[in-house]
């Protein structure tokens, strides 16, 4: 069958598989860029046996070497992994049968491995891990992986990390696994610090989090106990305070009585002195002296009682002081246990209320802004009417015999002047209301920021984990500009009158405690993905602030703010800042869509999916695209083999497969079904482990499989590079350029074994429609990890509406040459 670049091709597959290769940046030196489309097209149309493209362990003949002028000798045979075709051309030897016996494959590599060849050690490890028909020997696999990795083989470091992560042949240790993944990446500490790591995978993490929860529960019990003791102490203090008040009152009364008696005694002494100075006053003197004696006796008795009362008061004060000190000690203990939690809860309540008030004030502000605009318009119209009437009045004044019309016009002008003044006052009042609301909103935002910072300070226990991080997955956020929106704010563009759901992702290694969107609690799923329905925008001028807050069990926080704006708003930047997107390499793609099967059920939309994918890759992202429609087994294998021959480390490859697939449950082995395959004979099916072997031989740095179907044999996600949210644009682009230099093999699958038709009438499968949508909306360098989360969110949402469970996956491919914490990078053209 003939084939043309980016034109209709007969073929029949419906699995969306895309191999994406992100290579080194193109340089001026070296061979010219290859035209992959024409070379692959020619290879597909050439006759030939597709079995020649099987990957084998080949023993090449020894080299004939000259020693001096008299002696020649032949070196030992050298093992290589290559295709049957290449092995035959180079005069090599391979086992044509009995490939199920791993001993025949191991025999090729073991001798060189024992001599210290890192490549041979790596292949020996993969053979031990596979088992090749026998039981896997993970212990030996780990041993050979370690030897190769210690010599710098990055593939071996990734393989050893996988064994540590899954506990195969070695003790399970995710921390050690991450260390080997990082070692394979070759990234420096600065670059590694900008990537997220799955800290929850630490075997001690769950234990530490449980210990924190138990500690908090124990604290709650201690607080309750101390609160009871404090209440009892406070009750005793209250009783003693009442007694003290009584005793103090009695002492004050006694002291007043004594003071009164002393004053009386002083008066009697004065009177006695005066009487003694007069004659004939002896009887009076005696009477006064008797009174003074009686008063002195009474005063002494009352003073003694006052001393007793003062002593009682001091005793009560001492007891109260002691109890108060004890209560204070209890209270200090209680506060030391409860302070941080109570502060955090109070601050969280205040923050929630502030966010709710902020949302209400934002709505009021939008309403006042609309009213202000309306009043301003009315004021302008009133002024225009007044000016027109004034001009008409001046014309009438210049004409004779117009007294009646003149009087009527003057009355009209007077009324219009009053109307204009009133309209201006109304407009000024509305403008003042807008300013007042803006000031209130600014104050609330400042308070909310203070509260969120205080909430961070009120940390319960720092377990040593990173704090939470937030990112918006779907839809893409755009930079904003204008008067009311600062240039560093982000915006979501929405249609007016329609409520919009926004999907984000929160990562909290220590465990999530609180997640709110505009003060409303939101619950994420197990992957940290959450969806919030935002209020509708009612006019093109309206905008709504959205605030997301995440707090983990350590009370560490992350906050994010963006604006809802009407689609096409002038405040949304028409173009993102110019970015340097050079240095990512050349991009190639083979896109396969199979609808018309000979023996399998017909599919409806694989070809339309493939055509649309090919178009956007070519037009928007600058790929050299080979499009196959209704492809046979021979065409697919010939195309892959040709890419093996022509691509270099400066190239990136994408293979998109849409068609039938078959996955053998339990052994993680799958097939792609070409259009000429029979249902009961898998000899014409495309075995995916064979595709994996071919990926290892392709020289391209980045190879990504995107399959609207199945793809078995994946690694865990820990060996993927996941950029931390919150990086600046420049830092993100610089890090992506670093990742673009790493050798990566990844696969994104739709989560099914065939495309699921989108009942919404898009003409594409659910997966393809989401994939196309995200690529179309993207405006910057996009790593496949972010692409995956956006696609996954849309696919899950739509498949639920269709009552069809479909959950896409994205993982590195095991034993395909994946050797780094890297990722495939999509780079739009013309930015």
Nearest to 197 by CA among 542, 475, 465, 580: 465
Q: What is the pLDDT of residue 312?
A: 76
Contacts of 307 (CB under 8 A, 6+ apart): none
257 has a pLDDT exceeding 80: no
**Partners of residue 735 on adjacent β-strands:** none
Nearest to 18 by CA among 784, 802, 793, 801: 784
- Cα distance from N-terminal residue to C-terminal residue, the chain: 38
Per-residue pLDDT tens digits for 133-152: 567 788 888 888 899 888 88
Which tokens go with 183? 């070692």
Let me know: does 52 contact 83? Beta carbons within 8 Å: yes
Judging by DSSP bridges, how do beta strands 651-658 and 586-593 pair with one another? parallel
pLDDT-based confidence at residue 4 (cuts at 50, 70, 90)? very low
75 has a pLDDT exceeding 80: no
In the sheet with 661-664, reading across from the earlier edge strand, the strands are 661-664, 669-672, 686-687
Per-residue pLDDT tens digits for 805-828: 778 888 888 777 666 667 888 988
Runs of H (alpha helix) within 27-116: 36-45, 84-89, 102-115
> Higher confidence at residue 609 or residue 123?
609
Strands (E), 458-542: 469-474, 478-479, 490-494, 500-507, 512-517, 520-521, 529-534
pLDDT-based confidence at residue 153 (cuts at 50, 70, 90)? confident
Nearest to 525 by CA among 811, 793, 788: 793
Burial per residue of 528-550, b for 16 or more beta-carbon CB atoms within 10 angstroms, e otherwise? bbbbbebbebeeebbbbbbbbbb
Contacts of 322 (CB under 8 A, 6+ apart): none
Judging by DSSP bridges, how do beta strands 512-517 and 500-507 pair with one another? unpaired
Per-residue pLDDT tens digits for 747-763: 898 876 555 565 455 78
Report field, pTM of the whole predicted structure over 0.75? no
Phi, psi of 155 (to 5 degrees): -60, -40
Q: What is the pLDDT of residue 598?
A: 92
Per-residue pLDDT tens digits for 283-312: 777 887 787 788 788 888 877 877 877 787
629 has a pLDDT exceeding 90: yes
% of the chain surpassing 90 pLDDT: 8
Domains contained in the chain, CATH given: 117-195 (1.25.40.10), 205-354 (1.10.287.1490), 469-566 (2.60.40.10), 586-826 (3.40.50.1460)
pLDDT-based confidence at residue 621 (cuts at 50, 70, 90)? very high
Q: What is the pLDDT of residue 9?
A: 47
Task: Give the C-alpha separation, 261 to 303, whole Å.
Answer: 10
pLDDT-based confidence at residue 496 (cuts at 50, 70, 90)? confident
> Higher confidence at residue 463 or residue 293?
293
Which tokens go with 229? 């003791």
**Range with the largest mean pLDDT of 57-66, 500-509, 534-543, 772-781:** 772-781
Let me know: does 685 contact 787? Beta carbons within 8 Å: no
**Partners of residue 702 on adjacent β-strands:** 652, 744
Task: Give the C-alpha separation, 718 to 174, whole Å.
Answer: 9
Task: Give the C-alpha separation, 455 to 458, whole Å.
Answer: 5
Nearest to 607 by CA among 658, 662, 655, 671: 658
pLDDT-based confidence at residue 614 (cuts at 50, 70, 90)? very high
Q: What is the pLDDT of residue 573?
A: 47
130 has a pLDDT exceeding 90: no
Per-residue pLDDT tens digits for 630-673: 999 989 988 998 898 889 888 889 999 999 988 776 666 788 99
Task: Give the C-alpha separation, 24 to 146, whole Å.
Answer: 28
81 has a pLDDT exceeding 70: yes
**Range with the largest mean pLDDT of 20-34, 161-175, 193-207, 706-720:** 161-175
Vertex 202 angle, CA 199 and 208, to 5°: 95
Task: Give the C-alpha separation, 554 to 581, whole Å.
Answer: 39
Peptide bond before residue 611 is cis, with ω within 30 degrees of 0: no
Contacts of 639 (CB under 8 A, 6+ apart): 40, 43, 44, 590, 626, 628
Q: What is the pLDDT of residue 337?
A: 55
Let me know: does 711 contact 13? Beta carbons within 8 Å: no
Nearest to 747 by CA among 688, 809, 807: 809
> Higher confidence at residue 328 or residue 630?
630
> Higher confidence at residue 214 or residue 271?
271
pLDDT-based confidence at residue 768 (cuts at 50, 70, 90)? very high
Mean pLDDT of 162-179: 81
Task: Give the C-alpha separation, 812 to 702, whole Å.
Answer: 11
Let me know: does 515 contact 506? Beta carbons within 8 Å: yes
């Amino acid at each position: 069958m003939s084939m043309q670049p980016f034109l209709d091709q007969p073929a029949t597959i419906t699995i969306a598989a895309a191999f994406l290769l992100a290579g080194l940046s193109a340089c001026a030196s070296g061979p010219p860029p290859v035209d992959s489309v024409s070379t692959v097209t020619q290879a597909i149309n050439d006759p030939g046996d597709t079995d020649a493209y099987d990957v084998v362990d080949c023993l090449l003949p020894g080299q004939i070497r000259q020693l001096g002028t008299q002696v020649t000798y032949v070196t030992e045979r050298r093992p290589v992994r290559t295709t049957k075709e290449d092995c035959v051309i180079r005069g090599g030897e391979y086992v044509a049968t009995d490939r199920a016996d791993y001993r025949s494959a191991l025999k090729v590599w073991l001798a060189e491995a024992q001599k210290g060849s890192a490549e041979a050690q790596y292949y020996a490890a993969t053979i031990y891990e596979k088992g090749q028909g026998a039981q896997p020997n993970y212990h030996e696999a780990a041993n050979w992986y370690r030897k190769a990795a210690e010599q710098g083989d990055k593939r071996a470091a990734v393989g050893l990390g996988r064994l540590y992560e899954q506990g195969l042949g070695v003790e399970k240790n995710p921390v050690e696994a991450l260390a080997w993944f990082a070692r394979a990446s070759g990234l420096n500490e600065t670059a590694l610090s900008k990537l997220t790591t799955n800290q929850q995978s630490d075997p001690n993490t769950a234990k530490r989090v449980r210990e924190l929860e138990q500690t908090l529960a124990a604290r709650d019990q201690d607080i309750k106990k101390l609160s009871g003791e404090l209440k009892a102490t406070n009750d005793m203090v209250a009783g003693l305070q009442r007694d003290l008040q009584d005793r103090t009152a009695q002492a004050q009364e006694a002291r007043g009585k004594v003071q009164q008696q002393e004053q009386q005694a002083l008066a009697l002494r004065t009177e006695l002195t005066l009487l003694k100075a007069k004659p004939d006053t002896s009887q009076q003197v005696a009477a006064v002296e008797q009174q003074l004696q009686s008063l002195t006796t009474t005063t002494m008795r009352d003073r003694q009682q006052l001393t007793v009362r003062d002593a009682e008061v001091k005793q009560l004060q001492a007891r109260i002081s002691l109890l108060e000190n004890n209560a204070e000690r209890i209270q200090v203990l209680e506060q030391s246990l409860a302070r941080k939690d109570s502060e955090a809860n109070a601050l969280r309540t205040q923050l929630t209320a502030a966010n709710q008030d902020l949302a209400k004030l934002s709505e009021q502000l939008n309403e006042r802004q609309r009213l202000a605009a309306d009043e301003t318009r009315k004021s302008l119209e009133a002024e225009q009417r007044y000016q027109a009437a004034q001009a008409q009045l001046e014309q009438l004044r210049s004409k004779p015999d117009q007294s009646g019309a003149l009087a009527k016009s003057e009355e009209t002008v007077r009324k219009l002047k009053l109307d204009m003044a009133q309209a201006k006052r109304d407009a000024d009042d509305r403008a003042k209301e807008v300013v007042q609301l803006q000031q209130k909103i600014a104050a609330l935002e400042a308070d909310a920021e203070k509260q969120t910072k205080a909430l961070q300070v009120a940390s319960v226990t720092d377990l040593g984990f990173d704090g939470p991080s937030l990112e918006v997955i779907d839809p893409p956020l755009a930079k904003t500009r204008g008067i009311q929106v600062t240039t560093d704010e982000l915006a979501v563009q929405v249609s007016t009158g329609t409520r919009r759901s926004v999907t984000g992702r929160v990562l909290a290694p220590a465990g999530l405690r609180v997640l709110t969107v505009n003060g409303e609690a939101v619950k994420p799923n197990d992957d940290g993905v959450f969806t919030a329905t935002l209020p509708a925008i009612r006019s093109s001028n309206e905008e709504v602030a959205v605030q997301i807050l995440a707090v983990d069990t350590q009370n560490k926080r992350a906050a994010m703010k963006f604006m809802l704006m009407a689609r096409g708003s002038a405040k949304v930047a028409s173009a993102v800042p110019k970015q340097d997107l050079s240095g990512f390499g050349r991009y190639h793609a083979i896109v396969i869509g199979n609808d018309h099967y000979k023996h399998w059920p017909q599919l409806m939309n694989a070809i339309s999916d493939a055509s649309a994918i090919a178009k956007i890759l070519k037009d928007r992202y600058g790929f050299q695209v080979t499009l196959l429609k209704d492809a046979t087994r021979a065409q697919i294998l010939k195309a892959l083999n040709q890419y093996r021959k022509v691509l270099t480390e400066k190239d990136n490859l994408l293979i998109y497969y849409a068609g039938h697939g078959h996955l053998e449950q339990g052994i993680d082995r799958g097939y792609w079904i070409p259009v000429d395959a029979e249902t009961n004979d898998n000899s014409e099916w495309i075995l995916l482990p064979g595709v994996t072997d071919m990926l290892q031989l392709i020289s391209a740095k980045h190879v990504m499989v995107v399959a609207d179907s199945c793809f078995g044999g994946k690694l865990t996600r820990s060996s993927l590079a996941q950029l931390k949210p919150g990086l600046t644009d420049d830092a993100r682009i610089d890090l992506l350029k670093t990742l673009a230099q790493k050798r990566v093999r990844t696969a994104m699958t739709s989560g099914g074994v065939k495309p699921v038709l989108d009942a919404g009438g898009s003409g594409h499968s659910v997966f393809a429609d989401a994939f196309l949508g995200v690529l179309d909306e993207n405006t910057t360098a996009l790593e496949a990890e972010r692409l995956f989360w956006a696609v996954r969110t849309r696919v899950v949402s739509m498949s639920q509406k269709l009552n069809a469970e479909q959950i896409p996956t994205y993982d590195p491919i095991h034993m395909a040459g994946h050797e780094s914490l890297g990722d495939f990078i999509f780079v739009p053209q013309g930015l």
